Chains A and B, each alone.
Chain A
Amino acid sequence: MDKRRADFTWHSLNTLRAAVRVIAAVNGRPYEEWAILWTPPTAHTPVVCGWILLEHYYDHLPDHARQKRARRKTPYVWYLSRIPEEYFVVTYGLQPYPARLGQICIDIALARSLGTNQFGRLGLHADANAPRTSAHKLGDTVLTDWYQTQGMTRLPGSARLRRWRQLAPNDGGYFYFSDKPGQLCYRQLRNYRLDR
């Protein structure tokens, strides 16, 4: 498995969790981690199929150029990944690989956004090392295409981002859900939810 892939961190997720805890503690913002658990019929213990690490009350990505008071708040996703297929099949010996895990992760993040009065807003950065799309358009990867399919908006590469204790430079890889698209995406995923 390519070490540069985002889900390679699956093998060292505890390190990343601790690192995000450090960042959240220093920033003084609440931090949450969520996992998708599934118990296969052949096992007694659940398997972690997806993982989300997010920090609440970051500045909403398109609002960075605004005055501080005018910036809306959003959860910022530090890590969102489904279990790598190689790991699922080889380590656990399970098949077939479950579908829609990525969408479940997005759904959880949106649910937390709505549950913490952030109105369905969400921000994240697509991993730059993800495989390129077949069209091989400049800067486009499988992940960026997928986020756009889910209804996320790409932050223009020219948009200004506040750097101090916030985010890495804008390389055109930032995606966000504003209020309405976020709520719409959450509604579209309602059919898969038990508490609809």
Chain B
Amino acid sequence: MPIPTHVLSDLAKRFGHVDPTDGKAVELFFTLLATSTDLKLKRTIAIQLMKRQDEPAPPSLDRALARTIQNFALLQDLQPDHYAIVHCRNGRNVYGLIADVEDNALTIRKIRIPKGRSFTVRPGKISPRWYGSTTQIQHKTIETVDMVSPRDMQLQLTQQALQVRSKSRTVTKKQLVS
């Protein structure tokens, strides 16, 4: 009971780059790990397993019709030229200016997020360190909205978000130096 299934899937994804929804692949990862001689990896994963014993399960990915209607209403409330944080289910964040709001999608910067399973927009204030100056930030409370995106889209979004973040930091540093 102490090690939930979602923790096993998550660790297999993180350390073995395995599809967490593929039960056989997760099983194979742990079976190979158990016989592996890589003690460092074993130790890291064992500590994670012990740390995350009995971790509460994430909310179900199933979406009810009522939720979809609610999402639609919430999306209508969002406005362009405001900032939003999109919390991805993989623990990463996509953040930036809302460029466009459609009936069934939200575009942050140039990233279009169709409505559905993988993303959640949560109420949030953008931290000034991300954008350099507080004057650029318009505060906007955004209710919870669930968005759909295929898996590869999710990964792509994360990578783009990380790239944008590192680039903006580099630019800020250069400006400071000059």
Contacts and interface: CB of A to CB of B under 8 A. Distances in A.
Contact of A125 (B1, B27, B49): B1
Which bracket fits the contact residues of B? 20 to 34
Contacts of B42: 22, 25-26
Contacts of A12: 5, 8, 23, 26-27
B134 interface: no
B27 A78 contact: no
Contacts of A22: 30, 33-34, 42, 45-46, 49
A9 interface: yes
B54 A125 contact: yes
Contacts of B51: 168
A26 B45 CA distance: 10
Nearest to B39: A26
B38 to A, nearest CB: 11
Contacts of B33: 18, 22
Q: What is the predominant secondary structure among interface residues of chain B facing chain A?
A: helix
Interface residues of A, number: 35
B53 A168 contact: yes
Interface string B45-73: 11101111111110010000000000000
Contact of A19 (B30, B43, B47, B60): B30
B31 interface: yes
B20 to A, nearest CB: 11
Interface of B: 1-5, 8, 23, 26-27, 30-31, 33-34, 39, 42-43, 45-47, 49-57, 60
Interface of A: 3-4, 6, 8-9, 11-12, 14-16, 18-23, 25-27, 78-81, 124-129, 165-168, 171, 173
